[in-house]
Amino acid sequence: MRTPLRPLARILHARQEGLNPDSIEKENLKLRHEAMREKARGRAQFRLLILCASFVMAFGAIGARMGLMAATEPMEPRASAPGAEIIAQRADIADRNGRVLATNMTTHALYAHPKVMVDPKGTAQKLAEIFPELDPKALERRFTDGRSFVWIRKILSPEQMQKVHEIGDPGLLFGPREMRLYPNGTLAAHVLGGTSFGAEGVHSAEVIGTAGIEKALDARLRDPAQGGKPLTLSIDLTLQSTIEEVLGAGMGMLNAKGAAAILMDARTGEILALASLPTFDPNDRPNPLVDKNAEPGDSPLFNRAVQGVYELGSTFKIFAAAQAMELGLVTPETMVDANAPMQWGKHKIKEFEGKNYGPLLSVTDVIAKSSNVGTAHIALMIGPLRQQAFLKSLGFFEPTPVELVEAPGAKPLIPKKWPEIVTITTSYGHGMSASPLHLAAAYAAIANGGVAIKPTLLKREGQTTGVRVMSEKTAMEAVKMLRRVVTEGTASLGEVPGYEVAGKTGTADKPKKSGGYYKDKVVNTFASMFPASNPQYVLIVTLDEPQDDTLSETRRTAGWTAVPVAAEIIRRVAPLMGLRPKLEPVAVDAVTAASN
Amino acid sequence: MRPVLYVLSFLALIALGFWAYRENYATQGALKEVESLQRQIVGLREALTVQKAEWAYLNRPDRLRELATANFDRLGLLPMEPSQFGTAAQVAYPRATLPDISFTQDVQGTLSTDAEGL
């Protein structure tokens, strides 16, 4: 109830007393203000309390949630929709038609907790029975020397796992493992390379590439963002298998130490097949050779097609001829000096078996007959600088850019200085070494009409663009010359009816480690393209130390070794690629009626 | 009026409580089902990769070649050869089907189309 400021009773009383009644009003006003202030303070305090409480609650809730999240085991959200999840698996590798070349399989690793083992001795014995490579004594020692964790096997087969289960010791435990599997065995082993385990844990282990494309594209294969999309190679499984089969048979027949073949699409640079023999099984990759005296080529891991840097011999002659035509120095009909032997300073340039094709030979015949002297004269017309520039534009001075981890290491061996004698020897493929893959890329440039391509192992979509290194006309003339080599030159065994094979043979003596060349060890190469009227594919076949003993004499020239092997490959492979032979089928007399 | 409102809101509260209880259990059930389905999916995916690997293993060219050689008598499969390409002219025409001959008498003469109505 509101107290009046001037209560009548007190005013009257004050007047009687002779006091100032205003003081009463003042006093009452003061009291009233005090009461009002008190009330306002109370309300403000209450509001502050509420605010305080709400802050405490809010921060308390956040703190409690944080504590809860920090203290609990992490787990995946249960209600998330499956579909676009991250796949932690290593991506598959497939061939150009989607057939699997490498995939993953779930298996198990075996480890032990010796501290919880019931019978360490018996367990060690039984394990050694299952896995003969384990030593029971060593295993027992490791089980009993006080350690609490022992790895036993990296990979188990289901049968082995069942047997370990049957031992029934609680100290033996299994960890899940992703295993890389190459279902085709040795097929395309040098392309695929291999894998091994990286960091290993009980619950998982990372699979890392150790060689080949598995290592070169390791990051792409392991990238979870790719969602397990398979890596599509340019390799065609059927062609690869056929080539490996034919090449293997040829290598056996010719007693060669090794062999390599590359089949390439001349327009795109896609490698359709890349074989190197002897080969290995990437599922069980052999160890590299440790013997210091061993040549790298002795190991099956050695990829002859990419790492094998050889002097490629006469296959180089076409580059000199093509460049000379491109520069307008010669035409295919120009007669050049081919009088053997040719004396250059203190060097004597001879022909094969001391023959003499001279005194004059047309450029076409220089290639067809594989005349060293003729090529040397053509190369001298070109000169060292222009020759180097041309070979460089064909990719002979750099390692091949193919997606294999071995490729950057295989640098071509280029002479440091380039005097005229080097110009001469290089023109017929001596003194400078390159890999068969380099040769394939360079021949592809001739085959596709003069555009340098980059060899690749990945499937390419659409047309690729490259740098033009020679005119279309020059390339066509060069192909015609190469066709002549097969129809009437050194590669007559390379003729495959209907497929117009064009190519050039090359026989190079193997260099000795101590210097000089072996007399009876050669590297034979046949670089070819087909069909000559519109070259689409390039095939390189290289044989390491072959010899043909079928006739009375021993032959080591490419025309007798690499060429027939290449011809057989083309005969088998071209129909598989849907290439129709360009010959009229046997004429049918008349319409034949037959019952169906 | 007011007591009725109280009773009604109390009943509504009980109904809501019951609904929330049921929803809670339904959600938990659904989550459990999702979990088991996801486990199943993982299992099936694993099986799929194994089967794909097995398919690739069984279809490896070496094995197919061996099988083709082993069953040559029955299948007669040979590697593809250039000679296997043919032209349309080489395809034999099927024999024309002739109607059965029901009359064995030979008839000679000319047919008058008007008279026979042909």
- Chain-centroid distance of CA A447 in Å reads 25
pLDDT in single tens digits along all 596 residues of chain A: 677 888 888 889 888 988 888 888 899 999 999 999 999 999 999 999 999 999 999 999 999 999 998 998 877 666 555 544 445 678 889 999 989 999 888 888 899 998 888 888 888 888 888 888 888 888 888 888 888 888 888 888 888 899 999 988 888 999 888 888 899 988 999 999 888 888 888 887 888 888 899 999 988 888 877 767 889 999 999 999 999 999 999 999 888 889 999 999 998 889 999 999 889 999 888 888 777 677 777 788 888 889 888 888 889 999 999 999 999 898 888 888 887 778 888 888 888 777 777 788 888 888 888 888 889 989 988 988 999 999 999 989 989 888 998 888 888 888 888 888 888 888 888 888 899 999 999 999 999 988 999 999 998 877 677 888 999 999 999 999 999 888 888 888 888 888 889 999 888 888 777 777 887 888 889 999 988 888 999 999 999 888 777 777 777 787 888 899 999 999 999 999 888 887 654 545 545 555 44
Q: How far is A524 from chain B (nearest CA, A)?
A: 26
Residues 6 or more apart whose Cβ sits within 8 Å of residue A522: A507, A508, A509, A510, A545, A546, A556, A557
Contact between residue B42 and residue A85 where contact means Cβ atoms under 8 Å apart: no
pLDDT at residue B106, as a whole number: 60
Ordered by where they begin, the domains of chain A are 93-137+146-232 (3.90.1310.10), 239-576 (3.40.710.10)
In this predicted structure, what is the pLDDT of residue A596? 45
H/E element, A55: helix A21-71
Indicate yes or no: CB of A183 within 8 angstroms of CB of B57: yes
User: Which residues of A lie closer than 8 Å to B, measured between beta carbons?
Assistant: 78-79, 82, 99-100, 103-106, 181, 183-185, 187, 237-238, 241-242, 245, 496-499, 571-572, 574-576, 580-581, 585, 588, 591-596
Instruction: Give the Cα separation of A368 and A371 in Å (integer).
Output: 8
- CA dihedral A481→A485→A489→A494, nearest 10 degrees, is -160
Q: What is the mean pLDDT of chain B?
A: 84
- Return the closest-CA partner of residue A304 out of A588, A41, A546: A546
Kindly identify which residue of chain A lies nearest to residue B93, measuring between CA atoms: A593
Count of H-run helices and E-run strands, chain B = 4, 1
Contacts of A585 in chain B (CB under 8 A): 85-87, 90
DSSP state of B88: G
* A124 contacts A114 by C-beta, under 8 angstroms: no
User: Which stretches does DSSP call E strand in chain B?
Assistant: 93-94
Integer angstrom CA distances of residue A523 from A176, A211, A259: 48, 26, 9
Q: How far is CA A550 from the centre of its chain?
A: 39
CB-based contact A308:A328 (threshold 8 Å): no
Decide if B60 and A592 are in contact by the 8 Å CB cutoff. no
C-alpha span between B118 and B115 (Å, rounded): 8
Residues of B in contact with A581 (CB under 8 A): 82-83, 85
Å from A58 to nearest chain B CA? 25
DSSP label of A532: T
Q: Which residue out of A76, A90, A101, A105 would a mutagenesis test of the B interface target, given it has the greatest number of B Cβ atoms within 10 Å?
A: A105
Give the model's pLDDT for residue A585.
46
Measured between alpha carbons, how far is A437 from A263 in angstroms, rounded to an integer? 10
**What gap in Å lies between CA A291 and CA A259, rounded to an integer?**
22
Question: Coil, strand, or helix at residue A535?
Answer: coil
pLDDT tens for residues B57-92? 999 988 999 999 999 999 888 888 888 887 777 788
* End-to-end CA separation in angstroms for chain B: 105
Tokens found for residue A387? 């020759």
Any CB–CB contact under 8 A between B76 and chain A? no
| B60 neighbourhood in chain A, CB within 8 Å | 183-185, 187
CB A297 within 8 A of CB A257: yes
Please, are residues A339 and A359 in contact by the beta-carbon 8 Å criterion?
A: yes
Minimal C-alpha gap between A583 and chain B (Å): 10
B65 contacts A181? CB cut-off 8 A: no
For residue A535, the model assigns a pLDDT of 92
Query: B45 vs chain A: nearest CA distance in angstroms?
Result: 11
| Side chain identity, residue B28 | Q
Residue B56 at interface with chain A, using a CB cutoff of 8 Å: yes
At residue A358's C-alpha, the angle toward residues A352 and A360, to 5°, is: 140
Residues of A in contact with B49 (CB under 8 A): 103-106
- In this prediction, the answer to ipTM > 0.90 reads no
Say whether B94 and A594 touch across the interface (CB within 8 A): yes
For the beta carbon of residue A219, count every other beta carbon within 10 angstroms.
8
Q: What is the pLDDT of residue A343?
A: 82
Task: Identify which of A105, A498, A596 has the shortest CB distance to residue B49.
Answer: A105
Pick from A79, A241, A572: which is nearest to B61 by CB?
A241
Separation in Å, CA of B18 to nearest CA in chain A: 24
Largest CA distance in chain B: 120
pLDDT tens for B33-53 read 988 988 898 888 888 888 988
Residues of A in contact with B43 (CB under 8 A): none
Which residue in the set A100, A242, A581 is minimally distant from B56, CB to CB?
A: A100
| Partner residue facing A183 (CB), from B53, B65, B94 | B53
Which one of B52, B66, B69, B97 makes the best mutation probe of the A interface by having the most chain A beta carbons within 10 Å? B52
Name chain B contacts of A496, Cβ cutoff 8 Å.
82
Burial B52-88 (b: 16+ CB within 10 A, else e): bbeebbeebbeeeeeeeeeeeeeeeeeebebeebeee
**Closest in B55, B79, B85 to A580, CB measured:** B85
Task: List the single residue in B with minimal CA-CA distance to A104.
Answer: B49
Q: Are A456 and A270 in contact (CB under 8 A)?
A: yes
Measured CA angle at A41 (ends A35, A44), to 5 deg: 145
**What residues does A276 pair with on adjacent strands?**
A260
CA of A449 vs chain B CAs: smallest distance (Å): 26
Q: What is the 3-state secondary structure (H, E, C) of A148-192?
A: CCEEEEEEECHHHHHHHHHHCCCCEEEEEEEEEECCCCCCCHHHH
